[in-house]
Amino acid sequence: MASTSGQKPIGVALLGGGRIGSVHLKSLSSSRNYELLYTVDVDEARACEMASSVQGCKGIGSVDVALADDRVEAIVVCTPTATHKPIILKACEAKKHVFCEKPVSMQWQAIVECFDAAEKAGIKLYCGYQRRADNSFRKLKETVAAGSVGTVHVIKSTSRDHPTPSLHFLRISGGFYHDCASHDIDLCCWVAGEAPATVFALGSCFNPEIAELDDVDTALIALKFPSGVLATIDISRKAVYGYDQRLEVHGDAGMVQTENRPTTSCVISTAAGIAADNPYFSFPQRYEQAYATEIEHFYDYLRNDATPYCSRVDCIRVAQIADAAEHSARAGAPVDFAQFISQ
Ligand SMILES: NC(=O)c1ccc[n+]([C@@H]2O[C@H](COP(=O)([O-])OP(=O)(O)OC[C@H]3O[C@@H](n4cnc5c(N)ncnc54)[C@H](O)[C@@H]3O)[C@@H](O)[C@H]2O)c1
């Protein structure tokens, strides 16, 4: 079947059949713009299980077979963060475009290497910070850009995870600031339209198993931008009431907020009180629309040269700010961002 634009669908291989790989499997296999040719996982049985739901798709244990196949134009990387760079460099050699789950790497220098290699190879590398594709956040961003709330004074991002990821994932996650806070850091910079001048973070750990990993599960991050805009990020690995994701921008002419969405809009009012449903269970449910949209946006980027929602500069900057936040929290002092990244 032809794609939505009448062009050839993109032959694609999906790498990694874990939490986010399962989400992208749904988007890729239901889109007219892609032909999912391979699912790849080091756990080959998992790869085969994923492929079994898609006609013409083969489950394999190594990406090499997919990279050697001329029908494959692009790969979608959903493997653990530490594996991204070697996979991207292999894809560059094989001249395959890459959609990579966030973050491209925990080290910003490695992100630079990946984008440099992609540019040299003439392939496109896109990183999936899916919140930029979420309809509510996009409307908030457009509202701010249109001046409807006036001059922005404060951006407030609240992000509390549900359920807490497994210890197995947390061990290889890259740490709280790069894995979790990177989404909120990206959102704040996207809305502010600039990089911060100052980064100040405080971190705590309430979960003893996470503390053993020398990581934190709760943080407050403050950013001050050169324009004077202040941003606060209130972030936690644990919310017992569901996946809590809220964003607010306050300006001198008003305020714009995106609230949590409950699983139903039913509100029950009785003498005992008012009861509503909890927010969505977790990220696959809350960002279902955003994940599908970003996969279609990747098609548009490859076929129609659309401006990527998230650029090379955005990806590098997020990693640098995550580094600065971690450094600030450990040192207990604010970080001058320009000075920090020039060291
Ligand atoms: N955008 C988002 O909202 C979001 C959400 C979750 C995870 N992520 C990102 O996605 C990536 C994966 O996270 P996850 O939670 O899905 O992890 P996961 O542990 O649930 O799944 C990873 C899968 O990759 C497989 N794998 C490991 N190494 C491989 C390799 N070299 N080749 C092929 N398969 C390999 C594993 O067997 C596993 O099935 C991480 O970079 C994470 O930061 C993004």
pLDDT tens digits along 13-54: 999 999 999 999 999 999 999 999 999 999 999 999 999 999
d(CA 233, CA 223): 8
pLDDT band at 319 (very low <50, low <70, confident <90, very high): very high
- Average pLDDT of span 144-171: 97
> Mean of the pLDDT values across residues 239-260?
98
SS3 of 148, please? coil
- Tokens 């569901």, located at residue: 242
Given a cut of 90, is residue 4 above it in pLDDT?
no
Confidence of residue 177 (pLDDT cuts 50, 70, 90): very high
- The residue-averaged pLDDT of 73-89 equals 98
Q: Using the mean position of ligand 1's atoms as its centre, give its distance from the Cα of residue 331 in Å.
A: 31
- Segment 115-122 shows an average pLDDT of 98
pLDDT at 1: 65
Q: Above 80 in pLDDT, residue 9?
A: yes
% pLDDT > 70, the chain: 99
**27 alpha carbon to ligand 1 midpoint, in Å?**
16
- Contact, 328 vs 334, CB < 8 A? yes
Phi, psi (deg, nearest 5) at residue 337: -65, -45
Identify the band that residue 314 occupies on the pLDDT scale cut at 50, 70 and 90. very high
Q: Which residues contact 45 (CB under 8 A, 6 or more apart)?
A: none
Q: Is 19 in the pocket of ligand 1 (CB under 6 A)?
A: yes
78 Cβ closer than 6 Å to some ligand 1 atom: yes
* Phi/psi at 294 (5° precision): -70, -30
What pLDDT is recorded for position 181?
Answer: 98
Containing 32, the helix (H) or strand (E) segment is none
